[in-house]
């Protein structure tokens, strides 16, 4: 039975949501299939259909290699070639969930979008689908957007309501959107490594897909989800919460913060990948010190939960199947440090009355990297740091959001050390 409409046929959703739903189908009586909508004109729906919408997904990590056939997709719809088939999805009352991953720029409002055409944004397409549902007196949907933006569900609803106003829909439709549909904010976490030629040849599969073993889906705003999709009965790492922010903070501070803390230091020390860093005893000890001694103590989730997540992060960093270049992570390192690491520094000082030595050392290496290394950032930022003193850099409110020159003496200890 078709229960899910999915916007996006790319590697992430096929290796995340569809992989999970396949497991749910195998281990429970959910029996739910997915109708996939191609959200942009150029996509892979035709290629997927040639394989009867089936493919092999392979999880690879230190835990092992785990191939699985995924057959949860029932059909693919290309609205650019058959818009009526797309709108007719609204007529099927069995559809309950809408999942999407249309990239960070997918949930946007464009006042130039016109009603009744596929040549428009993802939220505009959804608005048209909802209007058809409303006109047919159908029930609302549960939205589970996977786009990597803050409050993705809330932002999708805002866009839909803007289109309703732009296109002159009656007030009853806006009430239907607000009251009969559930827009969940979600957080997704899995590194998808996509198509692999060697695996394609091995399994004779042109749509083979790969990812790390780790997966996490945090869903805010629908406490009854497990009664409809029993993720919890399959050992899947899906969390229902009334406060997504604490999990977002956990991910940003621990996983992303660890990346940003180690990257300039790693590059300056001659390392190329995350794995090469964690394979080095000295660098690994520094990384673990950042995480367990200075980041985790500033977070408010239960310590056992934080430690478990951090241990998973270290396993992920050591994945032999993923070549994660430090040079890629180093893009816009200043803004990343501001968001991912500086809050941990400030909170540590607030709680313990002293500076976190490793995170401050990482800050010093960040400055050194911009002065002497090969940073990739706005040229104005690079030029300013290269030609300024540590004091001037720390006083720049534009860079850090506040004057943090009180860190000067601590950072000066480590520059060029």
Which structural domains are found in the chain, ordered by start? 2-241 (3.40.50.720), 245-412 (1.10.1040.10)
Does the structure show a pLDDT above 80 at 415?
no
CA 97 to chain centroid, in Å, comes to: 19
Q: Work out the pLDDT band at 163, boundaries 50, 70, 90.
A: very high
CA dist 123 and 121 (Å) reads 6
What's the pLDDT score for residue 313?
95
What's the pLDDT score for residue 158?
98
pTM to 2 decimal places: 0.86
pLDDT tens digits, 184-206: 999 999 988 888 899 999 999 99
What's the pLDDT score for residue 328?
87
Q: Which of 75, 171, 83, 179 is nearest to 129 (CA)?
A: 83
CA dist 321 and 213 (Å) reads 11
Does the structure show a pLDDT above 80 at 105?
no
Does the structure show a pLDDT above 70 at 106?
yes
φ, ψ for residue 387, nearest 5 deg: -110, 15
Does the structure show a pLDDT above 80 at 48?
yes
CA atoms within 13 A on the CB side of 55: 29
Q: Where is 20: in which H helix or E strand?
A: helix 17-27
Does the structure show a pLDDT above 60 at 417?
no
Q: Enumerate helices (H) and strands (E) in the chain, giving the number of each.
A: 22, 13
pLDDT tens digits, 342-382: 999 999 999 999 999 999 999 999 999 999 999 998 899 99
What's the pLDDT score for residue 213?
93
pLDDT tens digits, 292-336: 999 999 998 899 999 999 999 999 999 999 888 999 899 999 999
pLDDT tens digits, 17-46: 999 999 999 999 999 999 999 998 888 999
Compute the mean pLDDT over every residue in the chain, rounded to the nearest whole number: 94
Does the structure show a pLDDT above 90 at 398?
yes
Does the structure show a pLDDT above 70 at 416?
no
What's the pLDDT score for residue 42?
87
Whole-Å CA distances, 348 to 245, 313, 354, 359: 19, 21, 7, 10
CA dist 152 and 188 (Å) reads 11
Does the structure show a pLDDT above 80 at 104?
no
Choose the weakest-confidence range: 148-152, 216-220, 367-371.
148-152
What's the pLDDT score for residue 277?
96
């Amino acid at each position: 039975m078709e229960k899910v409409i999915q916007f996006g046929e790319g590697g992430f959703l096929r290796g995340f949501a569809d992989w999970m739903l396949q497991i749910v189908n195998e281990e429970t009586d959910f029996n739910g299939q997915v109708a996939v909508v191609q959200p942009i004109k150029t996509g892979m729906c035709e290629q997927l259909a040639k394989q009867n919408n089936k493919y092999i997904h392979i999880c690879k990590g230190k835990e092992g290699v785990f191939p699985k056939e995924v057959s949860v997709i029932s059909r693919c719809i290309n609205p650019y070639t058959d818009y009526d088939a797309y709108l007719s999805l609204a007529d099927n009352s069995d559809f309950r969930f809408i999942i999407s991953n249309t990239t960070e720029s997918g949930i946007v409002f464009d006042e130039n979008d016109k009603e009744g055409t596929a040549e428009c944004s993802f939220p505009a397409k959804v608005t048209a689908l909802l209007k058809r549902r409303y006109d047919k007196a159908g029930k609302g949907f549960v939205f589970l957007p996977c786009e990597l933006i803050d409050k993705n569900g809330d932002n999708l609803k805002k866009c839909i309501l803007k289109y309703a106003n732009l296109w002159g829909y009656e007030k009853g439709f806006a009430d239907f959107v607000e009251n009969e549909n559930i827009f969940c904010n979600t957080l997704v976490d899995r590194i998808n490594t996509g198509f692999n030629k060697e695996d394609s040849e091995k399994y004779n599969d042109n749509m083979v897909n790969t990812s790390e073993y780790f997966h996490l889906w945090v869903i805010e705003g629908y406490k009854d989800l497990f009664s409809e999709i029993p993720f919890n009965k399959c050992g899947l790492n899906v969390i229902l919460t009334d406060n997504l922010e604490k999990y977002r903070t956990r991910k940003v501070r621990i996983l992303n913060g660890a990346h940003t803390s180690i990257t300039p230091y790693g590059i300056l020390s001659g390392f190329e990948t995350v794995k090469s860093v964690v394979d080095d005893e000295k660098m690994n000890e520094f990384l673990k010190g950042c995480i367990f001694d200075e980041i985790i103590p500033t977070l408010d989730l239960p310590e056992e939960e934080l430690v478990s997540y951090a241990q998973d992060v270290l396993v992920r960093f050591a994945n032999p199947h993923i070549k994660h270049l430090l040079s890629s992570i180093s893009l816009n390192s200043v803004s990343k440090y501001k968001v991912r690491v500086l809050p941990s520094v400030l909170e540590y000082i607030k709680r313990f009355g002293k500076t976190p030595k490793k995170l401050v050392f990482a800050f010093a290496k960040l400055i050194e990297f911009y002065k002497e290394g090969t940073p990739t950032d706005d040229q104005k930022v690079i030029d300013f740091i290269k030609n300024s003193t540590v004091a001037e850099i720390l006083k720049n409110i534009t860079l850090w959001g506040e004057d943090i020159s009180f860190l000067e003496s601590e950072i000066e200890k480590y520059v060029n050390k």
